[in-house]
Each structure stands twice: as C-alpha cells, then as structure tokens.
Chains A and B, each alone.
Chain A
C-alpha cells in the first residue's frame, strides 16, 4: 500500500458524526446481501449444482472482504462490477474450460449417476420367471392395478397393485373378469390403452413378487436388468451375464486403430450400452485439431479466413471512413451536416437487419443488385455459391456496416490535430501527400490505433454478419459431416458445432475451439495494450 492510498483512506479524514450512521448502513446492507447469498448457496448446493454454489460463494466472500477491510476502500467502488463479471463472465469461462476437457455433447449429455439411474430402470424376465396375461384396473384416486391370469395353471387369477400382490380366491378360475375388485374398476378398451402406456413405467407387486408390463399381452416377474457395481465400476447385464466397464480414457483399438468411445459402458466384445455419460477426456479435444483429418483441414482454412476477414474488414472500413472524413473536412461543402448524417445511417441500423437486407439484395436470381448487373448485360456473381464471391460479399456488407464508425472517429481525431502543425508543414513546403503521410496519419493512428485493434478483435468474433449472411455457407466438402462452411469464422464454426442442427451438439469440441479463440484474441488484446501504453498513461492527469 503506497502513501497515496493511505491518503485516500477515508478513515484518516475527519468527517464528523455521520460516520457511525454510514458504517451502520454499510453493515446492514452487507448483512442483507450475505443472507441472500447464503440462501442461494444453500439451494444451489441442495440441487447438486456445486460449481454454481462455489461461484456465488467466491463472490460473496470477495464482497465481504472488500467492504470490511479499510485498505480496500478503492475496490468498494468496483465491487458491483466485479461481482457481475465473476458471475456472468468469469464463471462461464471457467465452465467452458472445464467442458473443453470433457466429451460433453449429444450422446454424453448426462452425468454418470444420471445414466446409471436411467439404465437401472431396464428390466428383463429371468429364466423361470412367471408370465401372466393382464387386464388393467384403476381406482378413484387414479392408481392402477393389474388383474393377472396365469394361463399355464388353468387360468388362476392374481391381483397386483402398486405394492401388493395376492392370489384371487373369490373369483373362480376361468370366470369373467369382475367389473370391480377391491375398489378398482376394470377400464374400458379406450381408457385401457392410455392407462397401459402409463402403467408400463410402473412396478407392480411387492419386492418378492415384482410385476411389470412387458407387452400388449404379457406381464410378469420382471427384474432389473442392468445393475451397477460400484466396486468394479461396471454394469452387469443380468440377462446375458456380460460386464460393461465404464470407459473414461481416450484410446485406440490396437488392431483396428479405431478410437474408443469415451464416456461409455463397454463390454469385452466392444459393445456399448445405449446411453453414454459425461467424462473427462483430457486434452483429447485439442489433440483432435491435429489428429483428426475432418477437423484439421477445415479448421486451418477457417482460421486463415478468420484472420483475413478481420484484417480486411478493419483495413477497408478504416480506409473508406478516413477517406470520407478527410473529404468532410472541407468546410466549403454545402450541406455538410446533412451529408454526414446520411452517411452514418448504416451504422445506426441494427446489424442483423442490415445483413438480412443485403442478403436479399445480393441474391443471385432475384436480388436487386443482380438485376442491375444483369441489366448491363453481365452475369451476376454467385454471391452465395462460390466461396470466393461469398467472401467478397461479406467484406462488402461489412464495409457498408463499418465505415461510418471510422468516419466519425476519424472526423473527431482530425479535428483534434492542431492547425498550426499544418501551417508549419506548409511553410516547410510539404505537399498534401507528405502532410497526410507524415503528419495526419501518424497523429491519427495514435488516437485511433487502439480502436483499430478493438475493431480487429470485434470482427474476429463478428458472429452476426457470418450467420446472417449465409450461415457460414457454402459448405466445405472436406469437413465430412462436421458443419464447416467456406465463410465460417472460428466463432461461427464453434457455435455450429455446439448448437448446430443436423449433426448434433459437441460442446466439448466447441469449447476447445472457444478456448483457442479466447487465447488468440487475448494475445491480440494484450499486444494492443503493450503497444499503446500511451493509450492509458498519456491521458492520465497524474
């Protein structure tokens, strides 16, 4: 803690009596916040979402420390922003990092416990198990019961409710089914269909005499088929005696070279149970960038296009914006304000709408741009079919969207360049190009440089334009069944992997790509920060 911080410490100052009141209000507010946070932590933990409970806990502890320690007075002002960021930004990042090391995705959506619970509901008829014909009954409360007929033993009758099983003595073997038995009514044909569907999920009878419905005609002493054994971490199939071991690690079959499926229960024959579980697979998602042909090739091309797209977008928008800004500097232009207002309109239109409109205008067959080109006797370019033209189309649309921003920014920056510098340059005999190159541009770049880099990172993740233009299309053939397109940038590709239709979701792989994007953008941002230290320091009134 340096001396200045000590001077900022409010306790050192003489403030008078309101301090007590202020302290009281602070503690009261803090207590309320803590109570609320404790409630949240409790309910989240009770729901089994430990990670979220931890996140809330970390924020709460942080807020308390900041507010109770005088030395951290400055941080109190930042505490609300920090809390929000930890919960809504940092926590999702940590979660994404975690997911990138798992196989989370379609087929592996549930935790192992959940999968075991689901699998354990499967039943089978053990050898020598009794089979009955059945009819369904229901009582006033809506509980179902089964009337069971043992065909083998001369149509002996049994009655099974949820939790009870009894041999029926009061009705003679072979007699008609009673319309009512022990408060349960025999259901009519139509109701019975609906009831049977619900009752299929239920277990009737007692623990010794479990009865389940196995089909339209059969019910019987069905037993749990798949039993999880914690000591071997495997599931035993009671019917076949086959043991399915839980596989977590990624690996390859030594003979075929085929990759194992991770997060599955696998037996010695290599068969898997139908539901997989979420498992940590180490760095496998990252390795697959290099390892997997369907991922590697497209990913490299997508990466290069992402860089190219971002650089080209920044350059074109900045160049055009600066060009217009320079023109607008001429005070003699009539209706300058009107021109400027009209020129920034593209910036003011919501991006999604603009891109959608451009998509309609560039349409090869019907779009107005194509029609105009056709009117000149030329063949309109295939803006959505040919990869090259699609990329050009996107850059054109992005130019339209982006130049007003740089026009405004450059106008402001140009106005801030002192006129006497130009006068001095003119005295020295500099022409307009020299003045532009050696005076305007360097001074401009000091001011606008950070915004250029910010624009680069913005475009690096400019999902809206890619998605709204053509959803990343045209599709890349070499991507196999992965959803990669020629105009996809990294973020849109990752988004499609995670939420895309058709192939199913692979959150793990998408998260791994996200981490890569994050790493790169973070590096650029850090570089920007290092390069433009002046950005922060020179403007400071220290």
Chain B
C-alpha cells in the first residue's frame, strides 16, 4: 500500500509506483461512480417530467409536444404528446373536461399527466384558443414541489432549519458546560456519572416514544408551545436526546487542551467562569463546531420522532413531508420526491462539504491524541 515512504524519493518514481498510482486512480474513479450513482439517479428522476420509475433513463427525454387547435366548431382538437408529459394548469383542464363532457378525456389526463398519446377534445373548442399548455420543461417537478399549497414544501424546509439550528445551539451550549466540568473538576462520582450518561444514552429513544408522547401531551396542556404538534416540544425531545454522546465527544476534546493553561489562570485569581469563557472556549471552538454540525444534521434528518409528534401539515419537518411523496403505495411521485430530495439535501451537503476538515478533526482528535 501507499506509505509516506515516497516522500524520500519524490524526485523519481519507479515503474511499480506509477503502476500503483494508476491502479489507485482507477479504483477511486470506480468508487466515485459507486458513490454518485444514486445521486445521479435522483437528479435524473427530478428532471424527468414523467412521474413514474417506468420511463427511467439517466438522461430523461424532453417531451416533444405538438398542439393542434380546432379551427371550426365541430372539428376535433388534437394534442399529440408523449406519455408522461406533464399538463399544467389543472384548473383549466377541469374546465376542458367539463365542456367536453366525456369520460374519455378524463382518463386521458390523469393527475395532470398525459396517459394516452392523443387527447380528443370535443366541439366546444370553436375558438381554437389554447386552454392549457403542455409543458416541456425539465423543471416541472420543481415547479410542482414549490407550488402545491397542500404540500407546503418551503414551510417544511423552514421548520426543519429552525428546529435543527435551535436544537444544535442549545445542545452545544449545554454540553460544553458539562464537558468543562467533567474535564476540569475532580469530584466524587465523576467517573460513575460519566458511565451512567453513556449507558442511559444508548437506550433506544425511539421506543420511549409512548412515554415521550404522553409527556409532551401533558406538558402541552399547560405550556402550549412545548406540547405535541409544536416545534418547541420536538426540540425539547431532540435536545434531551442529544446530551450523552456529545458530552463524551466534547470531554475528549476538552481533555486534550493542556491543563496548565487554566491552572495558571486560576492561580492568578481567575474564576472558573472566566477560565471557561476566555481561555477554554476559544480553544475548543473546533469541537463546538463539530458537535453543532452533527447535532444540526442529525436533527435535520430525524424522521420517526417528528412523524409521531407533529400532526399538522404546517408543522411537519422536511423529512416527514418528503416521505409522503413515496410512502403511499399507489401514488408514488418519484419526480417530485427527487426534486424535494435535492433541495432538501442541500443544507447538510453544503455543511459537510464546506466543513469536512473540521468534522474529521473533531471526530478523531480526542481519540487520536492518545
């Protein structure tokens, strides 16, 4: 395998080393294909105007659309469009169907998609006016996603971002205090308490759902903004659940900050609060960022608790909302789901890619120091 050995011979490489490099690059390219394949697939689904998986191909075909208008009363109006073409303006479509008054037309356009190649429309279209457009845009799924009032995607996204950021900030603040204490003080029961926190933390929170549900219901009767069906209540659950492992993560990092720094400050008469705030806090910023990010992403991605705790569509988080697009057996809409998945994954994707160094550093630092 590769080793830092090559540093010594940077000037000239052997044939074996070059062959190794070539092999490594090939493996990496294969790995990237493996890593990105699902993402390309979902992007393709998002851009594909057809809603089902049936017509999946990696580069979706843009529908060819031809519209023929009726010129005179009594003639047939024909619209030629491939299957799966999205028909916009469903309000006018309803009008069209009503005027035409035929069952056939209703079936030809189902959920706003063309299902048969030809739609024959009756004589009422004397004017020949284009009553509806047949879209040929790659972005029709995004359009549907953002403009369906029954499924307020942007609202869900907003909810998710608010819940995740507030929870992350709270988790960072509270666990940082605890980590400072565990790292800097020596008190009776310290070790036991740490182990206890670790143990309690591995309890599957998911299955305490009944207790948590009943508790939030009860709290909500008296403090409405912390009850069921509120962002506050859900955040309370997330923050409570985010204590244990993050205290450990932070403590590991706090331990790696030399004690001499605060010892000398304490001798000079500084209070623990001053030591914490002016000396330690700036030094541990990397781990604060890591814990904050991990908490944000974890909360942002959480699904089960949110699905149980939030009942109204307006309070849903992104994941709860997105799941609706594909959970129903007979109405899976992979195109809109793909569009939502791409937009929904952007925040965590951006965070991870921008801050990958810090995340890696924070995750390994405490452990690697030994």
Contact = CB atoms under 8 A, between A and B. Distances in A.
Interface of A: 1-2, 4-5, 8, 10, 13-15, 40, 43-44, 47, 49, 52, 72-78, 80-82, 84-85, 87-93, 95-96, 99, 104, 324, 326-334, 339-354, 356-358, 360-361, 363, 366-368, 371, 400, 404, 408-409, 411-413, 416, 419, 422-423, 426, 432, 435-436, 446-448, 450-451, 454, 457, 461, 463-464, 467, 491, 494-495, 498-499, 507, 510-511, 513-514, 517-518, 521-522, 525-526, 529, 534-536, 538-542
24 contacts: A8-B272, A13-B269, A81-B175, A81-B177, A82-B178, A85-B244, A89-B200, A92-B215, A96-B207, A96-B211, A332-B21, A344-B352, A344-B353, A344-B356, A346-B38, A350-B319, A357-B42, A408-B359, A412-B365, A423-B5, A517-B204, A529-B198, A541-B255, A541-B256
Contacts, number: 338
A388 B177 CA distance: 48
A93 B271 CA distance: 37
B38 A77 contact: no
A363 B36 contact: no
B211 A92 contact: yes
A446 B83 CA distance: 58
B205 to A, nearest CB: 7
Contact of A81 (B4, B58, B209, B247): B247
B6 A331 contact: yes
Nearest to A433: B1
Given A348-B349, A368-B41, A450 B367 contact: yes
Contact of A14 (B41, B45, B204, B269): B269
Contact of A92 (B34, B188, B212, B368): B212
Contacts of A328: 28
Contact of A89 (B178, B193, B243, B256): B243
Across the A-B interface, the 5 shortest Cβ-Cβ residue pairs: A88-B240, A92-B208, A74-B185, A77-B181, A412-B364
Interface in B170-199: 174-175, 177-178, 180-182, 184-188, 190, 193-195, 197-199
Given A342-B32, A353-B42, 18 more contacts: A10-B271, A84-B174, A84-B243, A85-B240, A88-B239, A88-B241, A104-B210, A329-B3, A350-B297, A350-B348, A356-B323, A368-B56, A423-B5, A447-B364, A464-B303, A538-B369, A539-B370, A541-B257
A510 to B, nearest CB: 7
A409 B175 CA distance: 22
Interface string B243-273: 1110100001001111110000000010110
B185 A333 contact: no
Contact of A526 (B195, B203, B319): B195
Q: Interface residues of A: mostly helix, strand, loop or mixed?
A: helix
B125 interface: no
Interface of B: 1-7, 13, 20-21, 24-25, 27-28, 31-32, 34-39, 41-42, 45, 52-54, 56, 58, 174-175, 177-178, 180-182, 184-188, 190, 193-195, 197-212, 214-215, 218, 221-222, 236-237, 239-241, 243-245, 247, 252, 255-260, 269, 271-272, 297, 300-301, 303-304, 308, 319, 322-323, 326, 334, 337, 341, 344-345, 348-349, 351-353, 356, 359-361, 363-370
Nearest to B345: A349
Contact of B56 (A91, A366, A498, A536): A366
A538 B256 CA distance: 10
A306 B337 CA distance: 30
A367 B181 contact: no
Contacts of B34: 400
Contacts of A1: 187-188
B304 A529 contact: no
A539 B256 contact: yes
A87 B367 contact: no
B215 A353 contact: no
A412 to B, nearest CB: 4
A326 B2 contact: yes
A59 B363 CA distance: 32
A353 B210 contact: no
A471 to B, nearest CB: 10
A221 B19 CA distance: 99
A513 B286 CA distance: 39
Contact of A5 (B187, B208, B323, B367): B187
Contact of A326 (B1, B58, B182, B349): B1
A457 B341 contact: no
Contacts of A514: 203-204, 207-208
